[in-house]
Structure 1
Amino acid sequence: MSAKPDGAFDHRIAVHGSDEEFVATSVPFLLEGLAADGEPPPLVVTTPAKIDMVRDALGRDHRLVEFVSSADWYDGSAPNTLAKAAGYIAANAGPRGQIHAIAEPDWSGRAGSSSRESAEWVRYEAMLNVLLAPFEVTAMCPYDTRVASPSIVEAALRTHPTSMHGVERRVSTWYENPMALIARLDSTPLPPRPSDAAVVSSDGDVDGFVVAQATAHGLSSVDAGVFSSAVAEVVALARAGLVYAWPVAGASVCEVVSAAGDMDDLLIGFRPPAAAEPAPGQGLWFTRQVCSYVDVRPSDPGWVVRVQS
């Protein structure tokens, strides 16, 4: 069966276990993009070795395709990559977002380095289904079973409405409502806060507190200042509460605990600000861009927001 689910965004997964399978699925996909009326050059993000394979298979047509290595595209956090994708679409895609793109993270690198990192990328894949829904982007995400673990592949199948089987596209029986999946990921309990964590009231000198703590945790003065600004955006949303700080694995962690604040939106801080002056809640976009991790959890009452430099 070949079908496309409702919505403009076409998000496909291509699970493969050999170079031959990768090329056999990727080349027809790119030719589809090259033949599409009004579309800009397709984009391919994958490893250098696979880029060479696709170039060879395309022949002269490879000059009509944009190639970027996974290491260069996925060079930061999942929110960083989300911002990069949004910027690329805005700058290069057609007026309705038309573009064909192949995007494959390097699962032997950061994306697959820990269960925490893998969960960040699963959330990223799920969010694409929501944030790119209005745009006519056609994306294919290869998952190489020689590198990506079975658990990563299984999770990825839940974030793609369609799957590729050779050149045939099928509606996925694994696909899960993206907001339900994100909600489940965001319900995972956070590790307990250390009992000896430093603390200050949000009515106090939070900036000085965060800078001092982050510097003591090994951050440079510049990085400590950026981290303090990121925490300030959270405090502004929370409006009142307590700010805790402690070190972890060469980084600094701050946790804002508040009985107030409006953080019900599962996508808070993930949507790019549409104007020079961000709307309420969009300051968390900055926080997500400059921090390794940002976790938002409901508390009783209020919210807990934990950020890591």
Structure 2
Amino acid sequence: MTRTMRAVTIESFGDPSGMVVGEAPAPAPGPGQVVLETEAIGVGGVDAVIRRGTLSGFGFGPGLVPGSEVAGRVTAVGAGVDAAWVGRRVWAFTGTSGGYVEQAVARVEDVVALPEGLSPVDAVTLGSSAPVAHFALTHAHLAAGESVLVRGAAGSIGIAAVQLAARGGASAVAVTTSSAGRGERLRALGATHVLDRAGNGDPDAPAAYDVVVDIVGGAGTPDFIDRLAPNGRMVVVGAIAGMPPADFGARLLGAFQQSRSVGTFSLDSVPAAELHAVRVAQLAAAARSELHAVVHEVLSLDQVAEAHRRMDAGTVFGRIVLVP
């Protein structure tokens, strides 16, 4: 008899109602893989972008299981994997899909043992977003004493970037967000200046920044290129508002003598061993309360469409987490 589990599939791309919770065959681990019983599933911005159908070039089609990070206990291992993993609490990356399930499969090299004191919910809030923030700031060559602007700081990547920039000795950590209430929460995490979504609203904020971390993308990206100081660096780590205009580079050329630069960043470009070491260190820091996971809400797997509606509405501060 075939064992089954509950899983979410995207039957039609676009509105959250196109996601369906149903039965699927339970997985078995292949060589180099583990299977874990999921206790928490992270709902990321990239999940929403994929579900909307706006991320092209990846061959996604109906029947896709969304989600990329989970936490839980390992129940089985494949050939070549140490059996000592069975029973351990872990965080795992499932790839660009495959996470919204009761039982997930991951390569053993994409699995990190959870430190004592760190919940599965907090693990999936930080497991991907905190490394993105860390390496984005590294990619921008942020140095102590420099100023940082985090565009779209209310999501899990932005929240991590604010904390890491403040801990790294930034002279100013400005954020863009949609409300004063969110701004106060970001100040408590290390922000020194709170701006509106257009980058205005604080007369004491720096006029220009050494580093801009852009998580939003879309039509507003060129305006934030204009916020770069001489030799300033923008790193684009997300495009939740869509791709920037095709001619956004004109802003760079128009300020040629400022020697500004714009780059993109993806964790796919980080060597596996380096990424693993940073993730282990960050989860350990979270267990010591040195890095804070901000959880907006915990919902059941059956509420996946509602989770995505809240993402689309822009009402989420931190991360929504699903539990089977």
**TM, length-normalised to structure 2:** 0.26
Select the structure of larger CA radius of gyration: 1
User: Which of the two has greater helix per residue?
Assistant: 1
**TM, length-normalised to structure 1:** 0.27
